[in-house]
Structure 1
Amino acid sequence: MSSTMRAFVLTGPRECSVREVPAPRAAVGEVVVDVERAGVCGTDVEFFTGEMAYLHQGHSAYPMRLGHEWAGTVSAVGAGVDPAWLGRRVMGDTMLGDRTCRRCRKGHQHTCENRQEVGIRGGRPGALAEQLAVPAWSLHALPAEVDAVLGALVEPGGNALRAARATGAGPGDRALVLGPGTIGLLTAMFLRAAGAEVHLMGVGDGSFARSLGFEHVWTRETLPDLPFDAVVDATGAAEAPALAVDLVEPAGRVVGIGLAGRPSLLDTRALVLKDVTAVGVLSASPGLADTIAAYGSGAVDPRPLVAATVGLDEVGAVLAGQYRAGPGPKIHIDPRKP
């Protein structure tokens, strides 16, 4: 086993390189994973530009190694870890709670005040590297039907599954998703699988969403005057939460999963007088197992979202928005590519 590996290292805003770094070793209770695919996310872009709030709150600091959407094969296990994990294809939870605080003990480890987040928070190196070390308890085994591409889409899919479920929408319901990016489209896929009539609203001509089989794709100007039982805000627009409350039916549900770069404002009188239920979704953690099952059964197939798969040397260009790919919103990284 080599003592070093290649990894993408971010040293400051728009300052990055691929370096030879020490290869991880499996500490007590941890495993080492050979990374096969890692997704690039909007959070990674915010770290690249220096806009990510964690940098200013003291939760994260340069230099750092990004990458929290990943899949790979366990190549080493530490003391106290079941050796049966060796050779298994896995993905892992991003949110690593301390497992001792009240929130963790109540099953909400993804909200732990002391949590690490893989490739994001607390100095835990991420998956834009040839190898990754994570706690064995954070792993989810992948069945044969869920390949590396799907495995690296489980983390964003878990967020979307939770957002779709939070709407409560099913057969006979009409749901509107604001923002047809990766999370918005995944949410739409889970809503469709649940039997809801799905509408999407964004900018552009909506041709990619239509290619995925969604017939009702609109802009703000063309959105029809229809009753929406649920509205999901999957945008990064500060004005979107108020718009969602405005568009949803009385006694409907609004779900927020997008994060704006500045505070969002909405009139709580509208929330109260319309008897609207508002739900926020932070993490994929509670939805990972069911997302794997949905991918494995074919109920949801997000593969068309991946526009391209490139190597570590292209990550900087991807984060800078300089890489040109197909119509899908997601870029995957294969650290094994030269």
Structure 2
Amino acid sequence: MRAFVLTGPREFSVRAVPVPGAVPGEVVVDVERAGVCGTDVEFFTGEMAYLHQGHSAYPMRLGHEWSGTVSALGDGVDPAWLGRRVMGDTMLGDRTCRRCRKGHQHTCAHREEVGIRGGRAGALAERIAVPAWSLHALPDSVDPVLGALVEPGGNALRAAQAADVGSGDRALVLGPGTIGLLTALFLRAAGAEVHLLGRDEPTLAFARTLGFTHAWTRDTLPALPFDAVVDASNAAELPALALDLVEPAGRVVYIGLAGRPSLLDSRSLVLKDVTAVGILSASPGLADTITAYASGAVDPRPLVAATVGLDEVGTVLAGEHPAGPGPKIHVDPRA
């Protein structure tokens, strides 16, 4: 089968690789859509921390946001999975450690991460092999595009839930990229008045096409009380700004990651009686994200700017953005 293989910083090829086999407890999925993520870009540039911590190494096969159809079953897998349309959890804990037993397998110290960590091949390929226990079935109303948006949506849903806002509350999202916009969609679905803070007008203009009229730069941000602030950016200075902007007794949610340490004054956190929450993974939010997409409560499809084939992945990772205003690029490995 064909797969995108990253062999070093900015070194890649699309090559023929062995078709994965369905080992006991696992399934093989024919991939229909896969998303390109900021994490993939960090592996492409060589900046991803896992490369320097020994959790990941080249060559590697990227792709952790995906949807497809189960085409083969390993021993011990429920036959009902065959032919099912699915997406899968990225975080694969060992299922035996204390964290896993407490239901936090996404924080397992020994976890694999699909297309990211531990040598587990990702979905920028025609097929992918994953444990059957990591699968989530997709209803007919969740098409392949939505299916590949469940993983980033699960992260965003958890961030929106951590903000703990609803009707009559005002929330501010820092960073109108894919995760920031997805979080804004879930916050709006919860009934909150949603504001977005971005760096440039074109990005904010796209947010306005999604109905977010309160889209600001630092220079235009009004002096309003924000009951919750979500930092979905990669700017090292914004975690401190989030704390500055949130109302006393409010909540700050940190889901973005900067390339260098972020500093904030914990005295402000204490003296403002603010609750701060960090969000690592989509794992606990996947099922509820599928439900939200299936019901139409949240429709993130406008975020997808273009769908490309495997041969175009390298140029996308290098920064070339195909036509379309949205922040997300999808890959159809069959194209």
So what's the TM-score if we normalise by structure 1? Answer: 0.98
Alignment pair present for 1:287 and 2:285: yes
1:179 aligns with 2:188: no
Among 135, 146, 150, the alignment partner of 2:146 is 150
Residue of structure 2 in register with 1:209 after alignment:
207
Give the superposition deviation at 1:323.
Answer: 3.6
Where does structure 1 lack aligned partners over 5 or more consecutive residues?
none
The one-letter code matched in structure 1 to 2:169 is D
> Residue type of the partner of 1:100?
T
Partner Cα distance (1:324, 1:291) in 2 = 27
Q: What secondary structure sits across from 1:172 in the alignment?
A: coil
2:160 aligned to 164, 168, 171, which one? 164
Q: Summarize deviations over 1:254-273 as a string: whole Å, max 9, x none.
A: 00000000000000011000
Aligned runs of 1:40-55 on 2, under 5 Å?
40-55=36-51
Deviation at 1:81, TM superposition (A): 0.1
Q: Which residue in 2 is equivalent to 1:230?
A: 228
Q: CA deviation at 1:324?
A: 2.8
Amino acid at match of 1:330: K
The equivalent residue for 1:99 is 95
2: distance between equivalents of 1:318 and 1:307? 12
Shift of 1:248: 0.2
Q: Show the counterpart of 2:77.
A: 81
Alignment of 1:190 onto 2:176: no
Task: Name 1:257's counterpart in structure 2.
Answer: 255
Following superposition, the deviation at residue 203 of structure 1 comes to: 1.4
Instruction: Tell me the distance in 2 between the aligned counterparts of 1:324 and 1:310.
Output: 8
User: For the residues of structure 1 that align with 2:295 and 2:247, how far apart are their CA atoms?
Assistant: 33
Q: How far apart, in 1, do the equivalents of 2:218 and 2:79 lie?
A: 54
Which secondary structure does the structure 1 equivalent of 2:288 belong to? helix
Deviation at 1:70, TM superposition (A): 0.0
What's 2:130 paired with?
A: 134
Q: Contact 2:304–2:326 (CA<8 Å) still a contact in 1?
A: yes
Letter in 2 for 1:176: L
Does residue 328 in structure 1 map to residue 326 in structure 2?
yes
2:17 partner SS: strand
1:30-45 aligned at under 5 Å gives the runs 30-45=26-41
Distance 1:281 1:200 in 2: 19
For the residues of structure 1 that align with 2:222 and 2:239, how far apart are their CA atoms? 19
Partner AA of 1:14 in structure 2: R
Partners of 1:14 and 1:323 lie apart in 2 by 16
Q: For 1:137 and 1:19, how far apart are their aligned partners in 2? A: 29
- Equivalent pair of 2:306/2:322 in contact (CA under 8 Å): no
Partner Cα distance (1:31, 1:86) in 2: 9
Task: Please report the TM-score for the alignment, with normalisation by the length of structure 2.
Answer: 0.99
| CA deviation map 1:133-162 (0-9, x unaligned) | 000000000000000000000000000000
Over residues 280-338 of structure 1, what are the superposed CA-to-partner deviations in whole Å (9 max), with x where a residue is unaligned? 0000000000000000000000000000001000000000012432100000000000x
Q: Match for 2:300 among 299, 302, 317?
A: 302
Moved over 4 A (4+): none
Checking the alignment, whether the CA contact within 8 Å between 2:8 and 2:46 is kept in structure 1 is: yes
In structure 2, distance between residues paired with 1:215 and 1:298: 21
Within 2, Cα distance between the matches of 1:23 and 1:291? Answer: 30
Aligned length in residues: 333
Report the 3-state secondary structure (helix = DSSP H, G, I; strand = E; otherwise coil) of the residue aligned with 2:247.
Answer: strand
Correspondence 1:64 to 2:33: no
Cα RMSD over matched residues? Answer: 0.4
2: CA distance, partners of 1:19 / 1:104: 36
Q: Distance in 2 between matches of 1:14 and 1:71?
A: 26
SS in 2 for 1:232: strand
Partner AA of 1:245 in structure 2: L
Give, as a single letter, the amino acid of the residue that structure 1 aligns with 2:128. Answer: L
- Are the aligned partners of 2:254 and 2:278 in contact in 1 as well (CA < 8 Å)? yes
Q: Distance in 2 between matches of 1:314 and 1:258?
A: 27
Counterpart residue type for residue 171 of structure 1: S
The 2-side partners of 1:170 and 1:233 are apart by 18
1:120 aligned to 2:133?
no
- Cα pair 2:61 2:124 within 8 Å, conserved: yes
